[in-house]
Amino acid sequence: MQTNSESTKEHVNQSVDLTQPSDASGDIRADRSFDAITDHFEKKVYGGLKGDIRLAVLRRDIFEYSAQMSESLGRPLRILDVGAGLAQIAIELAAQGHKLVINDISANMLEKAKASAAQIDEDLNITWYVCPYQELPEKLGTENSEKFDLIMCHALLEWLAEPAAVMDFFDQQLTDKGALSLCFYNPASFDYRNLIMGNFNLLDNTEYKADNKKSLTPNHPVAKEEVESWLTAHHYQIIRTSGLRVFHDYAPLKRGGHNDPDAVIRMELRYSQLEPYKWLGRYLHILATR
């Protein structure tokens, strides 16, 4: 999750630039900051079963593929986690012996991530960059010209002012046969959940926006079809798709297996790659190669 560092807070809080993208209502958009609510983010996203499901699906998808790629190349991978937030998956990949570059524009997020990494091993091969992803090429270019075998971008697209622009960054930083891991909020899940909950007034309100002072529901999510069109335009081939939380969030009445967290994760993993269930996930994960 990309959040905001002290330097970027100054940039974002400057007077409004009318050249920046705006939505249909004319509101100026900017890359979303969570720096001020890091503790709330950690508790809300990873403080319960929702976070456990999210990590379980990502671990399965990414660890399986990274192990295969590493074996094929005969060496540890060079991996970038852009907008990493708490960087759980990245830290675990570093613990597996891979070389990680971890980035976020939130100093608070990366401080928590560094503390987590230190608890595992203080000598993990991790380089940390607190900056907007747009500044990474300059920082990386001055220290190392190597490109990345795997780039992870999780829960970032929906918070960027210009999400499609990040594809050019991926093109520049990924090796010719590298892989891209994109995890993003699924706007179809918002509609479906509110249909189930009977929130028809909300769905009829075309001007509805979440209160983004603390809400983690994005007001500008990108649909699966849009992301797929970007990948096609940039000559990527999708090799795996998964849904994260394909049923957990839709069960207001917990009964039977819903009361067993291990059983919930097991079933979420089972149905996360099956159609049509995976397309109901609150988040979608796409693995694609050049």
The rounded distance, in Å, linking the Cα atoms of 65 and 79 is 13
Q: In Å, what is the CA distance from 71 to each residue of 77, 94, 237, 289? A: 10, 16, 21, 17
Cis bond leading into 163, ω under 30°?
Answer: no
CB neighbourhood size of 276 (10 A): 9
What is the residue type of 172? Q
3-state secondary structure of 246: coil
Query: Where do the DSSP E strands lie in the chain?
Result: 78-81, 99-104, 126-130, 148-154, 174-185, 237-244, 283-289
Binding residues for S-adenosyl-L-methionine: 54, 83-84, 104, 154
Residue with tokens 């960087």: 87
Binding residues: 54, 83-84, 104, 154
Query: What single DSSP character describes residue 27?
Result: P
